[in-house]
Structure 1
Amino acid sequence: MRNKALCAALTMAALAACSPKKDAPDAPAAADTAAVSAATPTLGQVEIVAELDITPGNVTATKDGRIFASIHGMRRGPVQLIEVTGPNSYTPFPDAGWNAKPGSGKDVLNTPHGVLIDARDWLWVVDHGNWMEPLQAPKLVAFDIAGRKLAYRHDFDRKVAPAGQILQDLAVDSERGFACIADCGPDPAIVVVDTANNTSRRFAGHPSLAAEDVELVVEGKPLLFPGADGRMGPARVGINPISLSADGETLYFGAMNGTAWYALPARLLRDGASDAEVGAAIVRVGAKPISDGAATDAEGNHFFTNLSANGIDVLDKDGQLKPLVRDARFLWPDNAHFGPESWLYVAVNQLHRNPIFSGTTDQGKPPYLIARVWTGTRGQPGR
């Protein structure tokens, strides 16, 4: 399977990560990245929130506009999890201890990926621990951002998170005590964590979780990965974007290399239904672009990062897929999460320029961006 080659290639690329850089000092934003407009934003309006010298992986924002981001494990920096403090600055979160050298201890973030602020202002972080040597045990943690303290932790066993897993995007239902995580590794899966009982399960093997045979094209070039024989082959990535409905009753998901957006009743996962029952309930609800992230608003609209078109698409509640944003700066818009009002926050990290795709040196060029887009709808932070 191509995903096995992907996993191996991701590991090699991460081990060749760049050397750390120092925190950037506070500085005024450039003229073309102005601060929040005084007037009501227009539909699809883009604002650059931060220009960073390190690579954001996923980004999330609180209801009052605090911004947090993981640092992508394929292009490591001096820290692994940050709070953005200015247009060019950041601070390690929750503290320096959790941002110590990856692999140096139990209470360290090794390869954090998915991040999400819930309704209680807990920052959820999934740390898959791969793309380094030696590999580290995967975990799900949550920090109370008010006190900057650990509020929850779940350590995955190898049955739920087998070797080669890439636990990344996540959806959290803090009201009912569940988290759902997309694993885009060689055996694509949805991993479900019952946070009240601190247990987890793995749902895998369903066709909806797998990559489709469609090209991943960025900047006009189909992206490739080295195969087991050392030759480059087409990139194919399974389940990646994942989100929850406003009422928490429907889980949505799709493959990165996929054109279909699927749904299943979340109660089946909460109630411990069998894999057969879960699989039988999965339905296709609409189309999506080749995408690395998605967010669902309170009105039932779904917003996707569009990797090939450098933008954001929306699948509206009537089932129509249409473009919202096209922006030349959106070079690999990674994930998307709602913050205050109608603002959709997006990490832009030039991931396609990483050696895993180029086979040469890293072609990424700072600044790497955190942007936000005005959707004109009722966003739902914490979903």
Structure 2
Amino acid sequence: MLSSYLAILLLLGSAAAQNVTFQNSSQTRLRVDTGTYGPEIEEVHYYYDQWPIGIAVASDGRLFTSYTRGEYRYTLGVVANRTSERPYPSLDLNLPLNQLNTSYNGIPFGSANSTGFISVQALYITTKTSSRPETLWVLDTGRPTIYNSQMEPSMPYAQPGGPKVVAISLSNNTVYQTFTFPAGVHYPDSYLNDLRFDFHSNLSGTSGKGIAYLVDSSNEGRPGFIMLDLGTGDSWRRLTQDASVLRGMNDVPSYQGHPFYFRQKGSPIQWQLEGLDGIQLSTDGERLYYSPLSTNYLYSIPTQNLRERDTNKLAEVQAHANVSSHGQRGGNGNGFEGDTNGLIYQLMPEHNAVYYFDPNDGLTHGFVRDPRIIWPDGGSIGADGYLYLNINQLPYQPDWNYGVDTREHPGAILRCKLPNGERRSPVSTSESDSEGGDS
């Protein structure tokens, strides 16, 4: 009888132990994952209003941010103080909410307005040269999120004029150039996600006035690269639906230890659908590194293949043939950045971390990890040699969780010092034409 009683107690104790999560690392002899490594993290700015996406740091220290819309009052901003931001350059350039989208025969489309900001995804700053001011480049998707009467989200198709690249002079805060795309280059289901620049004058396939490499991350299934000649405004595509730009099939990442499935109100449970995401040029501009959001692999391609025009009937075939795989990197990767040492920094939302790929040894290494890095959704290296990170808790947003918002204010901009006094990769500016410092 006593033995049966003891057996029951042991069974109950075992069941209770299975429901206890270990919390206090000071009372164990075991090695414990502290959740941190790398340089010290500093908290630079706190978001209490709109949750950010893009970030860029100017040479004078100004911090610019973008916010995909939705319901936000503005989509491009600048940090005003430690806890607030304001519209940039002015609220007038941000289209009012009632002008963000329209419909044709019942099919929703984003606005075709080429002068007002609709939904800005990414930002990038290039340095001052003799022919161009220090510039904030603004990538407008033209595709805001809209909600029906049941508050179920959807994204209208793009129409020419809405998706655009806008150049703003940081010396006088005015727009001096705008580029839009024809429907055969930017599809209705395209989604502009990120951009990089090279202003060397001797680039094959260009006018010599510079080129932008743009990411089309298309959830609908046609991701690829869009190239934009900054001298002529011509644009073209490469690697559309190449295996290296497609989303990982049925990929289930883990965020803060929890497996993640995409749960959108009004839709069945599925997987993250985004394809091509992070990009970064090598320091000489001859190779572009990239990866989809929902795979663990890093790829690259010679930029010459991306610049090749359709007058070469083999251009697309040769581009597909010259994709290089650099193998797995240890998790899904989001935004990229690069430094003067040629390191390719990759934001790793599954690990609350930033990794870097070193082309010299072909390996991925850990750079910084911290429990505060809950979905790093943009990175920018400043002239001060710090890597700045936007933190927005994206997996907890309502659009990914049946309409329930479990994010906790504040969001944040964090920063940490680069190793060995490194600075931002200089490829965005021609060495022979540079006048300003890194930005």
Deviations 1:338-376 (A, max 9, x none): 112431111111111112321132222221111112121
Aligned residue for 1:115? Answer: 123
Aligned residue for 2:24? Answer: none
Aligned residue for 2:214? Answer: 181
Aligned residue for 1:284? Answer: 325
1:246 and 1:380 in contact (8 A); partners too: no
Aligned residue for 1:202? Answer: 237
DSSP 3-state at the match of 2:289: strand
The answer to whether structure 1 residue 234 and structure 2 residue 234 are counterparts is no
Aligned-residue sequence identity (percent) comes to: 24
Aligned residue for 2:144? Answer: 131
TM-aligned CA deviation for residue 230 of structure 1: 3.4
Q: Greater strand share, 1 or 2? A: 1
2:263 and 2:269 in contact (8 A); partners too: yes
Question: For residues 43 and 342 of structure 1, do their structure 2 counterparts lie closer, same or farther at Cα, with a shift above 3 Å needed?
Answer: farther
Instruction: Structure 1: give runs of 5+ residues left out of the alignment.
Output: 1-41
Say which of 56, 76, 85 aligns to 2:80: 85
Question: For residues 63 and 229 of structure 1, do their structure 2 counterparts lie closer, same or farther at Cα, with a shift above 3 Å needed?
Answer: closer
Matched residue type, 1:90 = E
Instruction: Structure 2: give runs of 5+ residues left out of the alignment.
Output: 1-36, 101-112, 129-133, 147-155, 202-209, 429-439
| Partner Cα separation in structure 2 for residue 135 and residue 163 of structure 1 | 5
DSSP 3-state at the match of 1:225: coil
Aligned residue for 1:59? Answer: 55
Matched residue type, 1:364 = R
Aligned residue for 1:379? Answer: 423
Deviations 1:78-132 (A, max 9, x none): 2211111321122211222112415365421111101100122211111111134
TM-aligned CA deviation for residue 135 of structure 1: 5.2
Aligned residue for 2:290? Answer: 253
Say which of 142, 145, 159 aligns to 2:167: 142
| Partner Cα separation in structure 1 for residue 95 and residue 118 of structure 2 | 9
| Partner Cα separation in structure 1 for residue 73 and residue 405 of structure 2 | 17
2:387 and 2:418 in contact (8 A); partners too: yes
DSSP 3-state at the match of 1:356: helix
Aligned residue for 2:399? Answer: 356
The TM-score normalised by the length of structure 2 is 0.73
Question: For residues 245 and 79 of structure 1, do their structure 2 counterparts lie closer, same or farther at Cα, with a shift above 3 Å needed?
Answer: same
Question: For residues 352 and 169 of structure 1, do their structure 2 counterparts lie closer, same or farther at Cα, with a shift above 3 Å needed?
Answer: same
Higher mean Cα deviation, 57-66 or 116-125? Answer: 57-66
- Bigger radius of gyration among the two: 2
DSSP 3-state at the match of 2:412: strand
Larger relative contact order (CA 8 Å, sep ≥ 6): 1
2:264 and 2:399 in contact (8 A); partners too: no
The TM-score normalised by the length of structure 1 is 0.83
| Partner Cα separation in structure 1 for residue 265 and residue 82 of structure 2 | 42
Question: For residues 227 and 367 of structure 1, do their structure 2 counterparts lie closer, same or farther at Cα, with a shift above 3 Å needed?
Answer: closer
| Partner Cα separation in structure 2 for residue 358 and residue 320 of structure 1 | 35
| Partner Cα separation in structure 1 for residue 282 and residue 423 of structure 2 | 11
Matched residue type, 2:142 = G
- CA root-mean-square deviation: 2.3
Matched residue type, 1:206 = D
The answer to whether structure 1 residue 151 and structure 2 residue 179 are counterparts is no
2:121 and 2:139 in contact (8 A); partners too: yes
Matched residue type, 1:70 = S
Matched residue type, 1:156 = F
DSSP 3-state at the match of 1:97: helix
Aligned length: 341
1:241 and 1:256 in contact (8 A); partners too: yes
Say which of 342, 364, 374 aligns to 1:300: 342
Matched residue type, 1:80 = T
The answer to whether structure 1 residue 223 and structure 2 residue 231 are counterparts is no
TM-aligned CA deviation for residue 325 of structure 1: 1.8
Deviations 1:28-59 (A, max 9, x none): xxxxxxxxxxxxxx952211211012211110
Deviations 1:126-146 (A, max 9, x none): 111113456552111111111
Say which of 74, 89, 98 aligns to 1:94: 89
DSSP 3-state at the match of 2:252: coil
2:157 and 2:189 in contact (8 A); partners too: no
| Partner Cα separation in structure 2 for residue 86 and residue 167 of structure 1 | 29
Question: For residues 175 and 150 of structure 1, do their structure 2 counterparts lie closer, same or farther at Cα, with a shift above 3 Å needed?
Answer: farther
